[in-house]
Amino acid sequence: MRRGRHRAPVPAPSRLLPAALPAGAAVLAAGVFLLVRDALVDDAYITLTYVRNLAFHGHWGANLDGISHTATSPLNVLLQAVVTVVVRDAVVAAGIVLAGLAATVTWWSQRTGDHLGWPRWTAALPAALLLVNPLLLSTVGLETYLAVTLLAGLAYAAVTGRVVVAGVVCGLLTLTRPDLVVVAAVAALAVPVLRRRLATVLAAAVAVSLPWYAFSWVALGSVVPDTVLWKIGDSWGRHHITFTDGLFVYHERFPEATVLALLPAAAGLVGGVSWLLARRPGAVAPVVLGLGAVVHAGAFVVIGTAPYHWYYGPAVGALSLLAAWTVGALATGVPAVVLGVVAAGLVVVSGGFDLRHGTPWTVAPIATNRATTAEYATVAAGLHGKVVSAGELGALAYFCADRCAIDDPLSERAPMLARIEQRRAAAGPVTRVLLDANYLFLEPAPYHRGTTRLVSRSGHHPEGVDVGTPWSGPENLRLVPVG
């Protein structure tokens, strides 16, 4: 008698399992956004103002009475604007995009881990580390999480040899931040499978990015945002603080947040080197994420820009992602669990700090603004017409909506172009030729000047609106006539 002729059917793997971790990451991101949404930094509100104006009016600029070109990340603006068209609220759209990015970075991590045979649970670590990092959370609304998500996609493409995907992601990286072209170049030249098919990588990158850059050059008058050219050689204060020494300043002012932000990045550096030395499979990932992060930070050192905290975001995020991936790459069995527990401990400690900072936050743990979001909303409620800023415009412009507008170089193009012309006059012949080519299609920008001015003064006063943050201390904003 023959036995076992009819075997019991083997249940197919659940199709829901691969979606569980990305869905969980999205839920975590949504919860985190509820924590931070009232403490978005002022530059995030510049982005959100662009987003709302594009979604509701089809207009590119911070003020509706003229074009400006100071949104560093066109891809971030476009992505959030698409969501805003549906949900009708740019802040809510920022939260939805954050949730989608958390799910995507988890999906990339899961696909990479499956390809290399890592334990499935390790795919949960990247989003957890990224969503509790105080520095990264202080950039919500900006392009940092989008950049880190795309870097995860580029590392996945490098590990799996998907050349066209790598090229597409490289193009998207340049649309996320123009300076991320250096990371794309590192991947294309340092990863053998991409270098051997460099023409394909370049073709895919150009196909993705060229339409925007052509539109920007002709319709907006510049290939890249004006701020890219303005902030080269920028610094803070009489001590000329730049990106090189900015982290020391942040550690002095925000010690716990800065240390917790940099710990996973340091772990990523150590883990990446260990991964390379151990010659474990997928060793091109440390090249993309580790070397890419170092080169990106080095580029900011070379150009000597000011130490805005979100400038550190791509490097900190990429290295934190590398730290999480190293858990899967370096160990299996008990060692993997030990490394996972260490990573989980870091998540718990950072998460505890985030909750102690406020529920919800009123100000980001690393921020250089002079007023909180709520304070700027109060100031904006008393504004009408065009108002000259006191140095920050994002939250004011956002809460002004259609009632008022802000006169600032980041919202009015004429004064911005005057600053760039000063740079051109002091530049060498090669730089002048490049600037002239970049602004070949630029049309003269009308200057709609403010009729009133916000004046900032130290301390609290009976008139005006009292404001203040841990960075700036107590100040007062008062509206006066221009004259």
3-state secondary structure the chain: CCCCCCCCCCCCCCCCHHHHHHHHHHHHHHHHHHHHHHHCCHHHHHHHHHHHHHHHHCCCCCCCCCCCCCCCCHHHHHHHHHHHHHHCCHHHHHHHHHHHHHHHHHHHHHHHHHHHCCCHHHHHHHHHHHCCCHHHHCCECECHHHHHHHHHHHHHHHHHCCHHHHHHHHHHHHHHCHHHHHHHHHHHHHCHHHHCCHHHHHHHHHHHHHHHHHHHHHHCCCCCCHHHHHCCCCCECCCCECHHHHHHHHHHHCHHHHHHHHHHHHHHHHHHHHHHHHCCCCCHHHHHHHHHHHHHHHHHHHHCCCCCHHHHHHHHHHHHHHHHHHHHHHCCCHHHHHHHHHHHHHHHHHHHHHHHCCCCCCCCCCCCCCCCHHHHHHHHHCCCEEEECCCCCHHHHHHHCCCEEEECCCCCHHHHHHHHHHHHHHCCHHHHHHHHHHCCCCCCCCCCCCCEEEEEEECCCCCCEEEEECCCEEEEEEEEECC
- φ and ψ of 478, to 5 deg: -125, 140
pTM assigned to the model:
0.95
Instruction: Write down the pLDDT at residue 378.
Output: 98
Among residues 63, 38, 18, 288, the alpha carbon closest in space to that of 155 is found at 288
Instruction: Write down the pLDDT at residue 3.
Output: 45
Instruction: Using the Cα atoms of residue 472, residue 475, residue 479 and residue 480 in order, give the sign of their dihedral.
Output: negative
Going from the C-alpha of 192 to that of each of 61, 197, 278, 283, 299, the distances in angstroms are 41, 9, 19, 11, 23
Instruction: Write down the pLDDT at residue 334.
Output: 60
**C-beta of residue 184 within 8 angstroms of C-beta of residue 154:** yes
Paired tokens of 168? 């597409």
Among residues 316, 275, 309, the alpha carbon closest in space to that of 292 is found at 316
The tally of CA atoms less than 13 A away on the side-chain side of residue 448 is 16
Instruction: Using the Cα atoms of residue 348, residue 353, residue 357 and residue 363 in order, give the sign of their dihedral.
Output: negative
- φ and ψ of 176, to 5 deg: -80, -45
Distance CA 147, CA 178 (A): 11
Tell the burial category of 245 from Cβ atoms under 10 Å away from its Cβ (0-12, 13-18, 19+).
middle
Instruction: Write down the pLDDT at residue 14.
Output: 56
Local confidence pLDDT in tens for the 483 residues of the chain: 444 444 444 344 456 768 999 999 999 999 999 999 999 999 999 999 999 999 999 999 999 999 999 999 999 999 999 999 999 999 999 999 999 999 999 999 999 999 999 999 999 999 999 999 999 999 999 999 999 999 999 999 999 999 999 999 999 999 999 999 999 999 999 999 999 999 999 999 999 999 999 999 999 999 999 998 888 888 998 889 999 999 999 999 999 999 999 999 999 999 999 999 988 999 999 999 999 999 999 999 999 999 999 999 999 999 999 999 999 998 776 677 788 889 999 999 999 999 999 999 999 999 999 999 999 999 999 999 999 999 999 999 999 998 999 999 999 999 998 988 888 888 899 989 999 999 999 998 889 999 999 999 999 999 999 999 999 999 999 999 997
Distance CA 87, CA 82 (A): 9
Instruction: Write down the pLDDT at residue 15.
Output: 66
Among residues 209, 135, 130, 215, the alpha carbon closest in space to that of 173 is found at 209
Distance CA 143, CA 310 (A): 9
Instruction: Write down the pLDDT at residue 18.
Output: 82
Instruction: Using the Cα atoms of residue 454, residue 460, residue 466 and residue 469 in order, give the sign of their dihedral.
Output: positive
Instruction: Write down the pLDDT at residue 333.
Output: 63
